[in-house]
Homo-oligomer: A and B are copies of this chain.
Amino acid sequence: MNEIDQYLSEKRDLINRALEDCLPKNRPSAVREAMNYSLKAGGKRLRPILTLAVAETLEHEDSSVMDVACAMELVHTYSLIHDDLPAMDNSDLRRGKPTCHRVYGDGIAVLAGDALLTLAFEMLAGYGEKVSSPDKALKITAELSRAAGVNGMIGGQNLDLESEGKRISETELEEMSSMKTGALLKASVISGAIAAGATEDEEKILTEYALCIGTAFQIVDDLLDHESSANEIGKPTGADRERFKPNYPGILGIQEARRRAETLHEQALASLKRLGKSTELLTGLAGKMVYRKK
């Protein structure tokens, strides 16, 4: 295993343990089970890893940043549960397992998503108290709520629902994917920066990095959906094509989409050079996000 794979695997374990700890410890209930089920259904933990990696890159050593990282994954998981609902993408499988609503029913799945979103903000409030930095926690709350809201993930999912079966332009696709996927990736990066007490310049550089890898990540996602078999990536593939959902290879062609992802990857690395820190981690992560097989 090379260094970055080792790092990813270690962080994933730590994050999984932290996520388990942050679930409410009240008596068992269907909603809590459903939250737990979806949180444990696997996933790359990319967003919390980005938060941790940015904080480390900025030489921030307070382990409480894990609470911030978990908040990002909670919001990600909530969005997957709601997006999978019959009233939205109507997906039966996610990460190779039955989706939350297939196991617990639509009502409990809606509530489990709501609860994960709510818990994310509770975590941030708790973080602010723990590290006695209400200002940092509040800045992160502002970032995360904007990223998750109507001008971010929710707006992106709305565009997604409305674009089904329609021809949209490249600009529209970019807007949709930057809201749907890019916004939370950026919030994950910037939240790590805020927690670490980054300077304005550092935040600016890391924002550039986040925007580049965010779009590249979405392009690669679309490419994998085009190319892979259901077996390999654990969710029904070709789904975007079947339901005429706009996607990068569909609009740009496979070659151009791949080239675009590579250019964005290079731009991300160029931004990092201006950070004046050792950036192996963030470089390695960018590589993993663009040159991946699932």
Taking Cβ atoms with an 8 Å cutoff, the residues of A that contact B are: 24, 26, 29-32, 35, 78, 82, 85-88, 105-111, 113-115, 117-119, 121-122, 124-126, 128-129, 134-135, 137-139, 141-142, 144-146, 148-151, 154-155, 157-159, 161-162
- The count of identical subunits is 2
Q: By the criterion CB–CB under 8 Å, are B155 and A142 in contact?
A: no
CB distance from A95 to the nearest CB of B (A): 21
A87 touches B106 (CB 8 A): yes
Q: Evaluate whether A107 and B88 lie within 8 angstroms (CB atoms) in the complex, with A129-B138, A135-B134, A150-B24 already known.
A: yes
5 contacts between A and B (CB under 8 A): A26-B150, A31-B154, A31-B155, A87-B105, A125-B142
Smallest beta-carbon distance A233→chain B, Å = 24
Separation of A144 and B118 alpha carbons in the complex (Å):
9
User: Once the chains bind, are A122 and B145 in contact (CB under 8 Å)?
Assistant: yes
Pick the contact of A108: B78, B111, B158 (CB < 8 A): B158
Complex Cα spacing A74 to B148, Å: 16
* Known interface pairs A107-B161, A114-B114; 7 further A-B residue pairs with C-beta atoms within 8 A, sorted by A's residue number: A26-B150, A29-B150, A29-B155, A82-B114, A85-B106, A108-B158, A138-B138
Could you say which of A88, A113, A138 has the most chain B C-beta atoms within 10 Å of its C-beta? A138
Asked if residues B150 and A31 are in contact (CB atoms below 8 Å), the reply is yes
Q: A31-B154, A108-B158, A137-B138 are in contact. Are A24 and B87 (CB under 8 A)?
A: no
Q: A85 contacts which chain B residues (CB < 8 A)?
A: 106-107, 110
Contact partner of A122 among B88, B108, B149, CB < 8 A?
B149
Q: Decide: B122 and A128 in contact? CB cutoff 8 A.
A: no
Chain B nearest CB: distance from A71 CB in Å? 11
Provide the residues of chain B in CB contact with A126, threshold 8 Å. 142
A137 neighbours in B (Cβ, 8 Å)? 134, 138
